[in-house]
Structure 1
């Protein structure tokens, strides 16, 4: 049994500044402002024998270095929403995934706690909080929104669409692979590996067959995202060019630039948002009908 199985889950978020009011996401899930500062030190514990010199007592530890993380918002998953910590944590992680997808990819999930973060320092001595650090790795390809002033307004879309997105995430392996590839991509130190992962998720949706992979994937993606016309043709050419970068990376000879990786992130994001809007993962039949203008 996990120590948080019988507690509400509080997910501490970085990079999201809320107004004074909380945001009810529905189904008991609440996004609320908070304040807390965490140090994430590398600590060396002194396990050497005590000094024989009484004037030189050994310290309990040496702190080697520390970085600060400011928790500015918390995602609250009440215990009645899911029966176990694992289920509540999976829901919190997915909610953060949707916030990154639509509101700001720079939002971080730093820690989960058994208590509200603004209460942690005021708890009585016999009430010990339980906390688990989550995202402690650096972002090797950090993403952010161009206009941070639009983040608060974007939360309405999250309110209206996260449950439909969660149904797709729970029922479709293709949607899950694309969403997880997009969400984890910032934290992978090898950019070629990220590029291959993003394109593997697109191939899973747009090319269940391996014949003429480059043209099939690029043509079907363009047909899915754009109506017939010049914009569709231009997008097909752009996607085909990006696919060349994926192929080079997959065969151990990467020649892509950061711009190619960024455009691949953006392409996967567009596909995910279209699937959420349509509440469905496109079938082979639907994609071919769109390709030939029959949908």
Structure 2
């Protein structure tokens, strides 16, 4: 794997944590403690590899519509069991993965579906997103990957279905 000096490439949007603060690069201890886990997940799960690559490269894609499509392509790779009802299925599975059953999950599904609409518009050549939509999509992918890293695994499609319908 080649090593690239990312510091020399321009970033095309600013990252913020969920509390709207810019990321500051702290947490190197966490990165060091999870490095082996991430490398195992990248080698064992193609969809995790795609998603982590999209997350790594997202800030450096000069066209924000293309960055949005890349981030959502990664989310689809992780959370798309089929091509039917893609918007609902992907948004519902992501919400079920990140949230326990209840109102918070239902609200998250609506927010995620709205972001998916922005992805669809960008993918079909009629972008309707604002910069915050790109950051929200980036943070959504980041949240999913962080949960997978912390749990040490990528959820299987049947596990996601069970979470969605409360069978887990």
* TM-score, normalised by the number of residues in structure 1: 0.53
Specify the alignment match of 2:161 in structure 1. Answer: 288
Determine which structure has the larger helix proportion and give its number. Answer: 2
CA distance 1:230–1:249, change in 2 (3 Å):
same
Deviation at 1:136, TM superposition (A): 3.1
* Residues 86-141 of structure 1: CA deviation (Å, up to 9, x unaligned): 5xx4xxx5xxxxxxxxxxxxxxx63xxxxxxxxxxxxxxxxxxxxxxx65331122
Structure 1 residue 204 and structure 2 residue 77: aligned? yes
Specify the alignment match of 1:245 in structure 2. Answer: 118
CA distance 1:147–1:196, change in 2 (3 Å):
closer
CA RMSD of aligned residues (A): 1.9
- The whole-number CA distance in structure 2 between the counterparts of 1:147 and 1:197 is 22
Higher CA-based Rg: 1
How many residue pairs end up in the alignment?
A: 165
Which structure ranks higher in relative contact order (CA pairs < 8 Å, sequence separation ≥ 6)? 2
Specify the alignment match of 1:177 in structure 2. Answer: 50
Specify the alignment match of 1:128 in structure 2. Answer: none
1:2-41 correspondence to structure 2 within 5 Å:
none
CA distance 1:139–1:243, change in 2 (3 Å):
same
Alignment check: 8 A CA contact 2:15 2:23 kept: no
CA distance 1:140–1:220, change in 2 (3 Å):
same
Match of 1:140 among 3, 8, 12: 12
Unaligned runs of 5+ in 2: none
Single out whichever of 170-179 and 263-272 deviates more from structure 2. 170-179
Deviation at 1:277, TM superposition (A): 1.3
- The whole-number CA distance in structure 2 between the counterparts of 1:278 and 1:144 is 23
Structure 1 residue 259 and structure 2 residue 95: aligned? no
Unaligned runs of 5+ in 1: 1-85, 94-108, 111-133
Q: Which runs of 4+ in 1 moved over 3 A?
A: 147-150
1:137-176 correspondence to structure 2 within 5 Å:
137-143=9-15, 146=21, 151=26, 154-176=27-49
* TM-score, normalised by the number of residues in structure 2: 0.91
Match of 2:105 among 232, 246, 253: 232
